[in-house]
Amino acid sequence: MFMYLIIDVGNSFVKLAVFENDTLKSKQVVKLNDVIKEVKSLRKKYLEIEKAIISSVGRLTESDTLVLSTLFDLTILNSETKLPFTNLYQTPKTLGVDRMALVCAAVKQFPKQNTLIIDAGTCITYDFVNANNEYLGGAISPGLRMRYASLNNLTANLPLLNTEMPESIIGDSTKSSIHSGVVHGVLNEIDGNIADYKEKYLDLTIILTGGDTNFLSKQLKSSIFANSNFLLEGLYYILKFNSI
């Protein structure tokens, strides 16, 4: 059975994942500058890899892409890629490749279900696919780190803090007030969005993924499926879908 390589390029780091028979065999995070070296190392370790897919919201160079195309049968995810759902987004060419992959994972793992995918990373994205396999769109808002950074960057005196769960809703210092505002703001936003969707779709499946999954999942009021590998799994399904 073939192995498949997933290359998920972010702004600073790249996730590399190897799948075999729908099972994640290997996952690592590497620096953008090291991606070719690390991919070649995986190529030697897993000789069965024949196909690969690139999802890039970052800055992978054309020369790096060319090198990768010499190593594998390479699919570059974009708005022209064949997808296993009906895309009703009004501006399909501007839909992020990461969001495409998340929706693909949803329709594969939760077929014929109304599904809301929440990706809590640099941005928090909300993507909704209905039981008719139609992607309707969603929302984009600032993630935890972006909110901390904006408070520091756009004010004169507020410090840049590391993400931390506040002990109380009432901050009794500048630092605790920032933690309360940022973290409770995100939690209330997510719970509020879920409640709004549930009013319209009673049989709603909710998935939480992204870098802040573990931090947020236990604090949310709603029942969710937490899966930090959901995007990688979606990219794998797209690659398989385009290999038929």
Please check if 44 is assigned to a binding site.
Answer: no
Please check if 12 is assigned to a binding site.
Answer: yes
Please check if 13 is assigned to a binding site.
Answer: yes
Please check if 14 is assigned to a binding site.
Answer: yes
174 vs 187: CA distance, rounded Å = 20
Q: Are 104 and 85 in contact (CB under 8 A)?
A: yes
Please check if 122 is assigned to a binding site.
Answer: yes
Phi, psi of 7 (to 5 degrees): -125, 105
Contact residues for 132 (Cβ-Cβ < 8 A; gap 6+): 86, 112
Give the residue carrying structure tokens 């309707």: 136
Please check if 141 is assigned to a binding site.
Answer: no
Please check if 96 is assigned to a binding site.
Answer: yes
Q: How many helices and strands (H and E) does the chain possess?
A: 8, 11
Please check if 15 is assigned to a binding site.
Answer: yes
Please identify every residue annotated as catalytic: 98
Contact residues for 60 (Cβ-Cβ < 8 A; gap 6+): 9, 14, 32, 35, 54
Q: Which residues are annotated as a binding site for substrate?
A: 89, 96-99, 174
Q: Which residues are annotated as a binding site for K(+)?
A: 119
Q: Which residues are annotated as a binding site for ATP?
A: 8-15, 122
